[in-house]
Each structure stands twice: as C-alpha cells, then as structure tokens.
Amino acid sequence: MSAPILEMRNITKEFPGVKALDDVNFTVNEGEIHGLVGENGAGKSTLMKVLSGVHSYGSYTGDILLRGETQEYRHISESERAGIAIIYQELALIPEMSVYENIFLGHEITNGLTIDWNETIKQTAETLARVGLDVNPSVKIKDLGVGKQQLVEIAKALHRNVKVLILDEPTAALNEADSENLLNLLREQRDQGVTCILISHKLKEVIGVADTITVLRDGLTICTLDAHKGEVAEPSLIKYMVGREINNIYPDREHKCSAEVAFEVKDWHAYDPRLGRELLKDINFNVKKGEIIGLAGLMGAGRTELALSVFGNAAGYRVSGDIFVQGKK
C-alpha cells in the first residue's frame, strides 16, 4: 500500500450551537480514489472546507499533514498553491468568459506586460485533451453543457499541478452518460498518479470507483473501508451512515390523493429577455388535492425557472399560458 499523502488528525470544528466535526481522523493514500460518504449534515463538506482553507487555520483544532508536513491554510489560495483543489457541485466558472480565460484566470501567461494569448490557447488545448474534452478553447462557458463544464473545472485543477483533487457531488447534475464519463476520467487520473477524494450520495458510483471509503456520521469518523479487501457493500455503508440496519430502503406507500385537481398549468412558456432565449416551452402539469408532485431534471433543465415564473414571476420573465387554481383561471 502506498504511503499517505494526506492526514487530517483529530479535527474538531464548531459553529454556534453545533459541533460540526468531533475529533475526526481522515487519511488518504497517494494515488487512490478515496470516497467520503455520510448523510446530509454528517460533516463531509465541512471537513473539506477545513482542508481547503475555506475554514482557516485557527478556526478549528487538529492537524493537517500533506506528505508528512503540517499545513496551516489561512485562505483557499494557500491550499491551491500546496496542490489541493476542490470542485463544488455549483461550478465556479464565469459563463461569459471563454474556456481558456476560465482555466487561466488568476494564473495568466504573460509576455512582458501583456498576456500571451497564443500560448494560453495552446496550453488550454493540451489540458483539455488530458481530460478528453474536444471543444474549441475559445468557446464561452455558457455555451457548454453541464457535463463539459465539469470537465473544464477538472482541467483547470489539473493544469495547476494538483496533488489532491476533491470533488463534492460531481455527478449530482449530470445525466448517466456524463456521470460515467466523469468516473472513467477519475480512474484515468488515478492511474496517472492524481489522488482524488470523491464526496457523493450515489453509493453505487462511489463503490464502483473508490479504492477506500470513509464514513462520517454526526461529525464523527465511523469507519474506513478497503474496497480491495471486499469490505465495501451498499447495505453495510447505509448501516454505518445511519447507525442502524435499513431493510426496506423504499417502503411501499398508499396513494391517498383525490381526483380533484387543485392546481393546473397549461401551455406555459417563459422567455428571459436578458439571456435572449426561451427557458420553458409548452409546460403542462396538474396537482391533485392532497398530492405531492416532484419536479425533476438536470441542472439548467428549467425547474427553478418554472417555479419562479408560475409563483409570481419574481424574475421578470415574459410568460404566456394559463394557470388554474381550484378550477378557476
């Protein structure tokens, strides 16, 4: 087994009225994919914010060691210089800027007093090839799908010679094909020596790609399991996450709503004049009395835009269509 590249020892982090992390220990070996799982509020993101310097040194107790050397990050820029990069579910890209501008933002290649754009574009193309993304470096971020934007984020991290790449819920907004592509990329980067920490609620994905998995519960380290020794299985992970056996993850439910339609939307459209494009087209749905209806879709599919436009149109979209409440238009 390879030596640890990262050790977090006895990390405790408190907020007013709550202890988010309680003497947490977390060790990651070099060149592995390490899964970090737990329920909402278990402390996963807080632990990574401590690691990346979002929660600065002095705001927590405990020690961070990178390749055996104690680290004291007071800002995220310090952890980045040390080779730690974190990619959140909400991507930190600027939509109106090009791919190459985003990748080199804050790390521009200069030629005297000016930016060397030719070299910037050349290096961007090389970095995009490393993550298997075949797009023009000059294309704007807003013109890329979420899956490709995720790859741009990873390319940005890899270009800065990242040693530990942290991905927080990276597949939450991706479809199945983009998710599989991203997981394959993590495997490739692991084989090239990049250490990855994967935070996800999708246990099957974590089990499929991780070498080691650590479970947090209520701010405590519950266990660390070795996938190569056959210690990892979905039922056992769920047990460690919630603290008890779960025999029926999806219990049967009785459908109790009536046939009376309480709310209905017909032929609904929404146009955003600022973006110059239609956000919603021919939306139709109804909600019966006593019913809970779920609105599902990938990031950018229009769920939030639908809610905003139907319930008062706070965003100022140009809307058309009909709304009926208790049968009244």
Enumerate helices (H) and strands (E) in the chain, giving the number of each.
Answer: 9, 15
DSSP per-residue letters across 88-130: -SS----TTSBHHHHHTTTS--EETTEE-HHHHHHHHHHHHHH
> For the structural domain made of 4-242, what CATH number should be given?
3.40.50.300
- The predicted-structure confidence for 49-70, as pLDDT tens digits, reads as follows 999 999 999 999 999 999 999 9
d(CA 299, CA 90): 10
pTM of the model: 0.75
d(CA 67, CA 71): 10
Where in the chain do CATH 3.40.50.300 domains reside?
Answer: 4-242
Pairing of strands 33-37, 18-29: unpaired
Query: At 48, is the pLDDT very low, low, confident or very high (cuts 50, 70, 90)?
Result: very high
- Please give the pLDDT value at position 94: 92
- The predicted-structure confidence for 200-236, as pLDDT tens digits, reads as follows 989 999 999 999 999 999 999 999 999 988 888 888 8
Are 236 and 32 in contact, with CB atoms under 8 Å apart? no
